[in-house]
Amino acid sequence: MAGIYIHIPFCKTRCIYCDFYSTTRSELKSRYIHALCKELQMRKEYLRGEPVETIYFGGGTPSQLAEEDFREVFETIRKYYGMEHCREITLEANPDDLTEAYAAMLQNLPFNRISMGIQTFDDSTLKLLNRRHNAAQAVNAVKHCRHAGFNNISIDLIYGLPGETDERWKRDLQQAVSLNVEHISAYHLTYEEGTRIYELLQAHRIREVDEESSVCFFSTLIDTLGSAGYEHYEISNFCRSDMYSRHNTSYWKGIPYLGCGPSAHSFNTDTREWNVASLEKYIRAIENNQRLFEQEHLDRTTCYNECIMTSIRTRWGVPLNDIEQKFGKELWQYCIDMARPHLDCGNLEIYDNNRLCLSRKGIFVSDGIISDLMFVEE
């Protein structure tokens, strides 16, 4: 099985924390859709005939597209890859785009999952972040998707935002739980160099939350969503029973995927590729039957390290039998030896005599555990 990621780079406005590639040049949308479809055609052999199980429209703001744009892309995917094996087709969307009419329109398309970037239900913080929606619009967007017939809705939250308090974070979580969505992703704010929020931090106009508060927020997240019946299946992701994100899980499990559009990454187990992060350069190259991209050939050690880095984050953990089969006895033994101190202190646990998993305690120090388990050649 394999996945396809479609990058839609257009945004009406840019959020101050975002470091994903995006642009406000919506006048290029028509040319871009044609170029995107051409790239899909050009790269039809990349997945080596693997059936496509998941399709994910990310961004940017994919909900800036119209029905005819989506239809053109889906027709191209169906022609060159087939969609008969698709189990999950996700659209990332902004709440203010998800009007009753837009949500109803989406039901005319193959989408069966909506991933909505809410971030917080605090209106003043939404303004600070330069988000286009308010809390009421976010709540209504979920209702519109439900009314349109979607029964697989995910929302994104961010914690550790400027001015965050225990009370405000608990209110965000309580509001999220009350929406009864199938999936919740929650990420700690990071201050990426080059973003507006990083500039505000450097200018001392806002303050970063301290580490003790961050740990408290994360603990509250786990407890609140766990009590509400959500399964903590990946460090930042929670779902109702069996409603995990199949597309994102394919990344963590090392399943091949094709990424199309500017800055999109692809992986086919042997190589990793990433397209140029420029809409104008991307379009010009594709129109001239070329691609601007970089490629990395993955050796055994790199593949092992990526397996550790991604799989340990999930409830399925590191499959020790697979480590030995894929990477050999030496790296399997290295993994066991480096895990032993973390097993002894209770940060790691072994399930089914095969799966190496983070414990509740280990989740809070996962970065250090991942670093220890990764192999560094001398």
**Domains, the chain, ordered by start:** 2-251 (3.20.20.70), 300-373 (1.10.10.920)
- pTM for the complete prediction? 0.96
Q: What is the pLDDT of residue 14?
A: 78
338-341-344-347 Cα dihedral, nearest 10 degrees: -80
Distance CA 255, CA 263 (A): 20
Q: What is the pLDDT of residue 117?
A: 96
- Reference 172, options 210, 135, 141; nearest CA is 135
Distance CA 279, CA 38 (A): 14
- For 250-275, the DSSP string reads HHHTT--EEEESTT-EEE-SSEEEEE
Amino acid at 301: T
Q: Which residues pair with 144 in a beta bridge?
A: none
Distance CA 199, CA 201 (A): 5
- Contact present, 241 and 231 (Cβ < 8 Å): yes
Q: What is the pLDDT of residue 239?
A: 98
Helices and strands (DSSP H and E) totals, the chain: 15, 15
3-state secondary structure of 64: helix
Q: What is the pLDDT of residue 261?
A: 98
Distance CA 310, CA 303 (A): 11
- Contact present, 46 and 81 (Cβ < 8 Å): no
Q: Report CA 305 to chain centroid distance, whole Å.
A: 20
Q: What is the DSSP letter of 95?
A: G
Q: Which residues of the chain have pLDDT under 70?
A: 378
pLDDT tens digits for range 315-367:
999 999 999 999 999 999 999 999 999 999 999 999 998 999 999 999 999 99
Angle, helices 300-311 vs 366-373, to 10°: value is: 160
Angle, helices 366-373 vs 329-344, to 10°: value is: 150
Q: What is the pLDDT of residue 16?
A: 81
Q: What is the pLDDT of residue 24?
A: 85
- Contact present, 228 and 175 (Cβ < 8 Å): no
Distance CA 76, CA 160 (A): 41
The alpha carbon dihedral of 6, 117, 179, 310 has a sign of: positive
Q: What is the pLDDT of residue 241?
A: 95
Q: What is the pLDDT of residue 18?
A: 85
